[in-house]
Amino acid sequence: MRWHDERTRGHDGRVPAASDPDRDPGPAAADAAHRTGPDREPEAVAGGRPVLRAGDADRERVAGRLRRAHDEGRLDLDEFDERITSAYAARTFADLDALTADLPPDTTPARTPVRRDRVDRPVQRRPDKAAVQMWATASVVNIAIWGILAVSVGVWVYPWWIWVAAPWGVVLLMQWITSRGERPPE
């Protein structure tokens, strides 16, 4: 749909300015004023861009541009703060365009979205090999120390190494049992 149809054009074929006091809006303007929805025509054009509502992504894009301008030294802290507040309060593209009108064009390349080939899987609770190896190493070291003490003293020594190996081993065993129904990570 064209922004202005033939009913709103003047006798010379041009669209009259919105602020023209001699302009007769006519029935087309009254019809457009009562229309709502996606086929509604914007009432004005600012800087070649229709006055449309800006979204959160648009505000974030302008805020990023203002941050880069501040990092480059083009805006001082007070002006940056004023503009960033205005950016998040902006309602239309015209409001956003006014905030960056005096800045040079942005030269940073746009980030390309990262493509993910596979779906993220839930966190696996199966103990990994490193955890089992650490448990086994700690257990063997404690058992060796207990054995050396028992042989050197010549009497039976309480097996204290159980308090190191058993709780840790039980946790790893429970993780393994509860993860048996899940697929192993690829």
What's the pLDDT tens digit per position in 82-119? 999 999 999 999 999 999 999 888 776 666 666 666 55
Question: Comparing C-alpha atoms, which of 135, 56, 69, 58 is closest to residue 97?
Answer: 58
Instruction: Give residue 134's domain range.
Output: 129-178
Does residue 19 sit within a domain? no
Query: What is the structure's pLDDT at 3?
Result: 44
Is the residue at 160 inside a domain?
yes
The candidate with the shortest Cα–Cα distance to 69, out of 107, 96, 98, 95, is: 107
Is 88 contained in some domain?
Answer: no
Number of domains in the chain: 1
- Does 9 reside within a domain? no
Report the alpha-carbon distance of residue 103 to residue 96 in Å, rounded. Answer: 12
Rounded to the nearest angstrom, the gap between the alpha carbon of residue 114 and the centroid of all alpha carbons in its chain is 12
> What gap in Å lies between CA 133 and CA 88, rounded to an integer?
52
pLDDT of residue 21: 47
What average pLDDT does the structure give for the chain? 74
- Determine the pLDDT at residue 180: 73
Query: Which residue type does 2 have?
Result: R
The model carries a pTM of 0.37
- For residues 40-61, give the mean pLDDT: 72
Task: Please indicate, yes or no, if residue 57 is contained in any of the structural domains.
Answer: no
Is 150 contained in some domain? yes
Q: What is the pLDDT of residues 110-153, one digit of tens each?
A: 666 666 665 555 555 566 888 889 999 999 999 999 999 989 99
Q: Under 8 Å CB-to-CB from 164, ≥6 apart: which residues?
A: 138, 139, 142
Q: Which long-range contacts (CB under 8 A, 24 or more apart) does 79-82 make?
A: none
Poorest-confidence range of 50-54, 67-71, 122-126, 166-170? Answer: 122-126
In the numeric block, the tokens 């501040």 are attached to 70
Query: For residue 60, is pLDDT > 60?
Result: yes
In 40-91, the DSSP E strands lie at 45-46, 49-50
Q: Is residue 169 part of a domain?
A: yes
**166 is a domain residue:** yes
